[in-house]
A and B are shown apart, each in its own frame.
Chain A
Amino acid sequence: MRKTLLALATGLLLAGSVSAASAADKLKVGFIYLGPIGDLGWTYQHDQGRLALEKELGDKIETTYLENVPEGPDAERAIEQLVRAGNKLIFTTSFGYMDPTLKVAKKYPNVHFEHATGYKRDKNMSTYSSKWYQGRYIQGLIAAKMSKTGVLGYIGSFPIPEVVSGINATILAAQTINPNIKVKIIWANTWFDPGKEADAAKALVDQGADVIMQHTDSPAAMQIAAERGKLAFGQDSEMIKFGPKAQLTSILDTWGPYYIARVKAELDGTWKSEDTWGGLDSHMFAMAPYTNMPDDVKKMAEDAQAAITAGKLHPFKCPVVGQDGKEVECKGGDHLDDGQILGMNFYVKGIDDKIPGK
């Protein structure tokens, strides 16, 4: 009995080492995820990107991921673990990984890093993000058309520029349809917490909002909207199955093409540090089908999408008026420039609220 066990053990160990050897010539690509891959939102979409990558280049690469990595002291270790396991290109997929990624990047100059949604770069560290405010603008148009109460409900995650610019883009769009549109904002102070997100959605509906939009990652708000017979926008991912009668559209993060392009560059030896901020025209994200709305609204949304994609419509076209009633300096010609949007820390006129901590 003991001999059989021993033989079994040796066999198992050998089997393991063989598969490790054959994997050695492949490029190892690592991913750090904020949520579980089953969050059906942000992390799920990144993992879909990883799977697209495997499908496209599976014979040349091997991917590994660490999920549920908190944006604190553990992140640096998690990233370094991936480096030490032999990964040569590492995607860190949340804003809070910025400083840890930079620290590890400085320590391992021969490994390449790609950080999502941040602003710190180095010669071996790129950043990538999407102009989601373009999608928010389209949502704002739809919301203003579809709302009967004239009150929109918005679930914010953290009051960082990306989220604030999304709120502003929504309201600027909505004001072109209904100048008196109101928005109620609740900050969940989390990216992923279905319980809190659901509570926020309930509170917004109770305050009279009949269209719910969110900048958090789970389909919880969609489910509440469906339950209460209200309308909602999905986030990151296709959420129609959580609200077949509720979802108007959803901003879909489509990371696959970007991941494939970057890994191909790495394989060719042409990878270099870049700052990618892609919009509808570069397919960094897409809009889910426009559903649960009359044809004229759908047509309006499609027209707006086409205009934004073609560069004919800019959500932050000047003049943009802040809450204080003063016009915001117009640094980008006829619209706000990228820096102003990336660092946005003010609400536009018509939002009856203030940014937390300001």
Chain B
Amino acid sequence: MQLVLEKRAERSNAIALVSPLIAIGLTIVTMTILFAILGKNPLLALQAYFIAPLTDGYSLQEIAVKATPLVMIAIGLSLCYLANAWNIGAEGQFLIGAVAGSWIAVKTQGTDAGAWVLPAMLLLGAIGGALYALIPAICKVKFGASEILTSLMLVYVADLFLDYLVRGPWRDPHGFNFPTTAEFDPVATVPVLIEGGRLHLGSIIALLVVAAAAVLLGRTIKGFEIRVVGAAPRAARFGGFNANQLIILTFAVSGALAGLAGIIEVAGPIGHLQPGISPGYGFTAIIVAFLGRLNPIGILIAGLFLALTFIGGEQAQIAMKIPLDVTKVFQGILLFYVLACDSLILYRFRLVFPNRQVTRGTG
């Protein structure tokens, strides 16, 4: 007897809609048991996780701030993945974008440079990320090198390059030799939207990116091309679509978005360049892209949702004195159920009984 996973003949739209709800329900049940074992009040814990962050303006802002880079990067990655191009190195493109944009901030430090500084930084950040993403794309197209490996390995190169800059040439001369640039001038800083809060212009840009991606994929020939090349490469070839060109394009766009996210993060919430500017945004965004089913609106929701679990996790640590590991287990269980429920929309389990006669014949 054997358990196999087989593709369903047709998928139910109703189930597709309620599947995330089922996942959340299962998570709540599991975590209730876990909290009870730990001797914590499950209702209060769940309240700290899901409800408290949504009930005050400060936490809502923080959720938006946390989700901004995740959504922006994940949108770019979704274009790659839809076109069957596997960009795993968004983290590196994020860092190079941050470095490229910071170059202007560092060079104009203390010079009354004017209002052009920030737009130029954002532009250069996007260009830097795009150029960095083109390295694995071109290696793939010209030499057939696996873009999964090359893009991933370039992350470490970017990390060390950033490290070199802030320890060497770009180090704050008044900073006791600590590895960081000086704080950026106000003209080189992403403006805050609400006085006293941290919500910044980058969140608006992220929303525009989501809208642009939705239009691109839903209403343009290029978007159609991306989806066809990914879903049916042979048909795409017959249709005259050039898969290689598309790899270059989607890598460049996703690199540009990651780079833009990088410079926004540095010129916004952080305010200077330093090592460790990303707590793994480029990798977490891969999860966001798939959690959002590679759909722009889905990615927006997934990004906000993941941000909620981060903020809620902290609040649970503070309010309930729940250890960090438990909040991580919580995130893990949630992702597990979401992905498992999604799989069960498309697939189903079936018990397969081996044919007795065959067994006898071979035995």
A interface residues with partner B (beta carbon < 8 Å): 9, 12-13, 15-16, 30, 36, 64-68, 70-74, 76-78, 80-82, 84-85, 95-96, 99, 103, 107, 119, 158-161, 189, 342-345, 356-358
Residues of A within 8 A of B41 (CB): 12, 15-16
Instruction: Identify the stretch in B108-116, B271-279, B335-343 within 8 Å (CB) of chain A at 4 or more residues.
Output: B271-279
Which residue of the partner chain B has the closest CB to A86?
B318
A30 to B323, CA, bound (A): 15
Which residue of the partner chain A has the closest CB to B43?
A12
Cβ A73 vs Cβ B269 within 8 A:
yes
Residues of A within 8 A of B183 (CB): 99
Report the minimal beta-carbon distance from B279 to chain A, rounded to whole angstroms: 5
Cβ A81 vs Cβ B167 within 8 A:
no
Q: CB of B185 within 8 A of chain A?
A: no
Q: CB of B177 within 8 A of chain A?
A: yes
Cβ B318 vs Cβ A95 within 8 A:
no
A354 to B184, CA, bound (A): 29
What 1/0 flags go to B309-325 for Cβ under 8 Å of A?
Answer: 01100110111010111
Q: CB of B224 within 8 A of chain A?
A: no
Cβ B279 vs Cβ A70 within 8 A:
yes
A71 to B164, CA, bound (A): 18
Residues of A within 8 A of B314 (CB): 66, 77-78, 81
In the complex, the 4 A-B pairs of residues with the closest C-beta atoms, listed nearest first: A357-B167, A357-B168, A345-B177, A343-B176
Given contacts A85-B319, A160-B179, contact A96 B269 (CB under 8 A): no
Between A16, A107, A342, A343, the greatest number of chain B beta carbons within 10 A of the residue's beta carbon is seen for A16
Given contacts A82-B318, A357-B171, contact A67 B177 (CB under 8 A): no
Residues of B within 8 A of A12 (CB): 41-44
Q: Offer 28 A-B interface pairs, CB within 8 angstroms, sorted by A.
A: A12-B41, A12-B42, A12-B44, A13-B43, A13-B44, A15-B41, A64-B317, A64-B318, A66-B324, A67-B317, A68-B324, A72-B274, A72-B276, A72-B277, A73-B279, A74-B310, A77-B314, A80-B58, A81-B314, A81-B315, A81-B318, A82-B318, A85-B319, A95-B178, A158-B275, A343-B177, A345-B177, A357-B167
Q: CB of B147 within 8 A of chain A?
A: no
Cβ A71 vs Cβ B276 within 8 A:
yes
Residues of A within 8 A of B278 (CB): 72
Which residue of the partner chain B has the closest CB to A10?
B43
Cβ A77 vs Cβ B62 within 8 A:
yes
B interface residues with partner A (beta carbon < 8 Å): 41-44, 58, 62, 65-66, 163-164, 167-168, 171, 176-180, 183, 196, 198, 265, 269-272, 274-279, 310-311, 314-315, 317-319, 321, 323-325
Report the minimal beta-carbon distance from A275 to chain B, rounded to whole angstroms: 13
Report the minimal beta-carbon distance from A65 to chain B, rounded to whole angstroms: 8
A103 to B42, CA, bound (A): 34
Task: Please pick, from A70, A76, A84, A95, the residue contacting B198 in the complex, using a CB distance under 8 A.
Answer: A76
A344 to B177, CA, bound (A): 8
Cβ B324 vs Cβ A158 within 8 A:
no
Residues of A within 8 A of B270 (CB): 72-73
Cβ A66 vs Cβ B318 within 8 A:
yes
Cβ A70 vs Cβ B44 within 8 A:
no
Cβ A84 vs Cβ B58 within 8 A:
yes
A347 to B194, CA, bound (A): 47
A13 to B42, CA, bound (A): 10
Residues of B within 8 A of A189 (CB): 163, 275
A12 to B39, CA, bound (A): 12
A217 to B80, CA, bound (A): 40
Cβ B44 vs Cβ A16 within 8 A:
yes
Report the minimal beta-carbon distance from A248 to chain B, rounded to whole angstroms: 30
Cβ B196 vs Cβ A161 within 8 A:
no
Which residue of the partner chain B has the closest CB to A102?
B183
Residues of B within 8 A of A72 (CB): 270, 274, 276-279
